[in-house]
A and B are shown apart, each in its own frame.
Chain A
Amino acid sequence: MQRLFKISVNGKEYDVAVQELTSGAAIMPNYIGTPTPASAASVAAVPQAAPAPAAAPVAAGSGDQCAQMGGVVASILVKEGQEVSQGERIAELEAMKMKVPITASMAGKVSRVLVAVGDAVVAGQPLITLS
């Protein structure tokens, strides 16, 4: 079910369409204890993969490369379609006056870049999808 909202940020109005995937879902996910991208990937490697928490509105898929912490996207170092190797730096956030490298948790092809330079992101938010 899709719902439409009009929201105002600093006096600017935005029309937002929100698709509800689970009924009764919490509005804000609780990211405490969310595994870091590397560990999330390694947990996913277990044969019986853990199901994503039902309450999280943005369920990270196995190829999703997520923000380790809240911050601003400082650079995207890959393009869609590009091949990357495991451990390669694919993006950088800026947080606490530091560059925070986002490295590929697996080798693969960049299927989607989900954010742009300057975007504010929250911890656990998928930034780039690899396949």
Chain B
Amino acid sequence: MAIKPELTETLRHRREQIINHIPPEKLKAMHAKGQLSARERINSLFEEGTFQEIGLHAIHHAVHFGMAGRKLPADGVITGSGYVDNRQVAAFCQDYNVLAGTLGKMQARKITRVMRYALKTGVPVVAFKDSGGARIQEGVDALSGYGDVFYANVLLSGVVPQIAVILGPCAGGAAYSPALMDFVIMTRNNAHMFLTGPEVIKAVTGRATTMDEIGGAEMHASVSGNAHFLAEDDRHAIAIVKGLLGYLPQNNTEDPPHNLAMPIYSDRDAGMDELVPATPSEPLDMAAVIRRLVDDGEFLEVHRSFARNAIVGFARISGVVTGIVANEPMVMAGALDIDASDKIARFIRMCNVFNIPLVTLVDVPGFLPGIEQERGGIIRHGAKMLHAFASCTSPKVTVILRKSYGGSYLAMCSQELGADMVFAWPTAEIAVMGAEAAVKILYRKELEKAEDRAAAAKTFTDAYRTEFASPYEAAANFYISDVIEPSETRATVAVALRKLLSKREIRPSKKHGNMPL
């Protein structure tokens, strides 16, 4: 007794037809563009032999517009799960070589099925997007399919990490699925995301535009902020996915993959002292500070080219996975504006849902003054930072390096906003406003009477700066935990983070806070 050979033969034949459906010359053309086939993408993400596919034989049931009986391998999407660095990850990859990767009801069912599998098993989802959009032949079924995917995105949001990798077109409603996920990676030359394309924009507004201008990877990475990472090609994008997964927990009930076997730093780092500029007006090199603070100088920066006046990203500090939030004084003086507020708030909330501790590095002259900022709603955007920091229950360590003025002092996770530990360098200037502006208000009468107004202003300003533009006024009022030398920063932060890992904070139960949007 044994299975009839023709049965296994049929199965093998069917598999072969579905898996190897791309003609070699087409594959070669894709490779030349820096693209991989859908199968190759899945294979390069997972450890060999660990991918289990679900729905290989699933196919559409559409009959209109010549669809009846049309064989579409795997219905244009590969779905399943496998192992990345010994941790299970669910994934799906749209296949542009199957009716342009268009989405109909079956493709949507396959995608939502694998997403719900990720939810049940508590594992991250990686979504490779490469699709012409809705499968028009399926009509409202295609539309409904998108709705099902969005709903699943929202269901999973805050439970398991969701990473979207855009490797080709992702247009129209399809673009909302990545926007609902935690991270968006786009490849430089092949990826595009937009709601309405150049033709529609031309027809409606009369303005000519290009795909790159409205939906290119560089634009989304630097201007719109829709993309968190810019990859050179498919392989680079997959490398970013793996790097990112290395900092994230499997789901919201787990801790991120800390390396607690690592000894805690205790050495002084004299190099940090050297990074402090001689004068307060000369900008500090925040990127250099971060490199010295984190293990092996390894920092995975998120949103690198968007709102460059702020820096956010992942690192480990003595093995503890940490989300770093920092001002970048080299760009726009490090002032907080609308885009920087959105970037920081989004990052904080992502860290909070995945139990990632935050280290906030402060050197901020204030919120950016300006008509465009006020009219653009900096109040509600800046408020997102306040809301995000105050509602974050992950461990929060703040280090005030230099300037920390007014509302921006509070917005950069002061003690009042819930920082568990606040350290300040001796160069910290913590005050309600800058010395010049404060003197104009506090000494208005004296200045009016003064014979030499400029000299009097300088005397008052110098006195104010000595007294108040320092960490000691704030320290005396117990708004900071300690004043530390820059060379002590790495060891101090490392110890504080390790101790805070047992932090538990209970908040009043509610559906969710009403974050300003």
Q: In the complex, what residues of B have CB within 8 A of residue A101's CB?
A: 283, 330
Chain A positions near chain B (C-beta within 8 angstroms) = 30-33, 35-36, 38-39, 42-43, 45-48, 50-51, 54, 68-70, 94-101, 123
Question: Known: A33-B223, A39-B222. Contact between A98 and B334, CB under 8 A?
Answer: yes
A-B pairs, top 3 by smallest CB distance, nearest first, are A39-B222, A98-B333, A96-B365
Question: Known: A42-B218, A48-B212, A95-B333. Contact between A30 and B281, CB under 8 A?
Answer: no
Q: In the complex, what residues of A have CB within 8 A of residue B497's CB?
A: none
Asked if residues B368 and A69 are in contact (CB atoms below 8 Å), the reply is yes
* B476 CB–A CB distance under 8 Å: no
Question: Known: A50-B212, A68-B332, A69-B332. Contact between A99 and B218, CB under 8 A?
Answer: no
* B253 CB–A CB distance under 8 Å: no
Q: In the complex, what residues of A have CB within 8 A of residue B332's CB?
A: 36, 68-69, 95, 100
- Interchain nearest-CB distance for A123 vs B (Å): 8
Question: Known: A39-B222, A98-B281, A98-B365. Contact between A48 and B210, CB under 8 A?
Answer: yes
Q: In the complex, what residues of B have CB within 8 A of residue A46's CB?
A: 212, 216, 218
Q: How far is the CA of A46 from the CA of B211 in the complex (A)?
A: 11
Chain B positions near chain A (C-beta within 8 angstroms) = 207-213, 216, 218-219, 222-224, 280-283, 305, 308, 329-335, 338-339, 365-366, 368-370, 372-373, 376, 403, 434, 436
Q: How far is the CA of A29 from the CA of B40 in the complex (A)?
A: 47
Asked if residues A97 and B372 are in contact (CB atoms below 8 Å), the reply is no
Asked if residues A51 and B208 are in contact (CB atoms below 8 Å), the reply is yes
Q: How far is the CA of A26 from the CA of B369 in the complex (A)?
A: 22
Asked if residues B333 and A100 are in contact (CB atoms below 8 Å), the reply is yes
Q: How far is the CA of A95 from the CA of B335 in the complex (A)?
A: 10
Q: How far is the CA of A83 from the CA of B212 in the complex (A)?
A: 31
Asked if residues A35 and B223 are in contact (CB atoms below 8 Å), the reply is yes
Asked if residues A69 and B335 are in contact (CB atoms below 8 Å), the reply is yes
Question: Known: A97-B281, A99-B282, A100-B332. Contact between A42 and B208, CB under 8 A?
Answer: no
23 contacts between A and B (CB under 8 A): A32-B338, A33-B223, A35-B222, A38-B308, A42-B222, A43-B216, A45-B218, A46-B218, A50-B209, A54-B207, A69-B332, A69-B333, A69-B335, A96-B369, A97-B280, A97-B436, A98-B281, A98-B329, A98-B403, A99-B281, A99-B282, A100-B332, A101-B330
Asked if residues B213 and A97 are in contact (CB atoms below 8 Å), the reply is no
The prevalent SS among residues of A at the interface is: loop
Q: How far is the CA of A51 from the CA of B376 in the complex (A)?
A: 24
Within the complex, which residue of B209, B281, B370 is in contact with A94, where a contact is CB–CB below 8 Å? B281
Asked if residues B216 and A98 are in contact (CB atoms below 8 Å), the reply is no
Q: How far is the CA of A100 from the CA of B305 in the complex (A)?
A: 18
Q: How far is the CA of A117 from the CA of B258 in the complex (A)?
A: 51
Asked if residues A39 and B212 are in contact (CB atoms below 8 Å), the reply is no
Select from chain B the residue with minimum beta-carbon distance to A40: B222
Select from chain B the residue with minimum beta-carbon distance to A33: B223
- Interchain nearest-CB distance for B432 vs A (Å): 15
Q: How far is the CA of A28 from the CA of B403 in the complex (A)?
A: 32
Q: In the complex, what residues of A have CB within 8 A of residue B216's CB?
A: 43, 46
Q: How far is the CA of A48 from the CA of B211 in the complex (A)?
A: 9
Q: How far is the CA of A120 from the CA of B372 in the complex (A)?
A: 17
Select from chain B the residue with minimum beta-carbon distance to A29: B372
Q: How far is the CA of A100 from the CA of B334 in the complex (A)?
A: 9
Asked if residues A97 and B210 are in contact (CB atoms below 8 Å), the reply is no
Q: Which of B207, B213, B434 has the most CB of A within 10 A?
A: B213
Asked if residues B283 and A98 are in contact (CB atoms below 8 Å), the reply is yes
Q: In the complex, what residues of B have CB within 8 A of residue A33's CB?
A: 223-224, 339
Q: In the complex, what residues of B have CB within 8 A of residue A32's CB?
A: 338, 372-373, 376
Q: In the complex, what residues of A have CB within 8 A of residue B403's CB?
A: 98
Asked if residues A70 and B370 are in contact (CB atoms below 8 Å), the reply is yes
Within the complex, which residue of B210, B305, B368, B373 is in contact with A50, where a contact is CB–CB below 8 Å? B210
Q: In the complex, what residues of B have CB within 8 A of residue A69's CB?
A: 332-333, 335, 368
Q: In the complex, what residues of B have CB within 8 A of residue A99's CB?
A: 281-283
* 11 further A-B pairs in the complex, CB-CB below 8 A; given A43-B218, A48-B211, A50-B209: A32-B373, A35-B222, A39-B305, A42-B218, A42-B305, A69-B332, A95-B335, A96-B333, A97-B436, A100-B283, A100-B331
Q: How far is the CA of A123 from the CA of B280 in the complex (A)?
A: 23
Q: How far is the CA of A47 from the CA of B338 in the complex (A)?
A: 30
Asked if residues A43 and B329 are in contact (CB atoms below 8 Å), the reply is no
Q: In the complex, what residues of B have CB within 8 A of residue A42's CB?
A: 218, 222, 305
Q: How far is the CA of A39 from the CA of B339 in the complex (A)?
A: 14
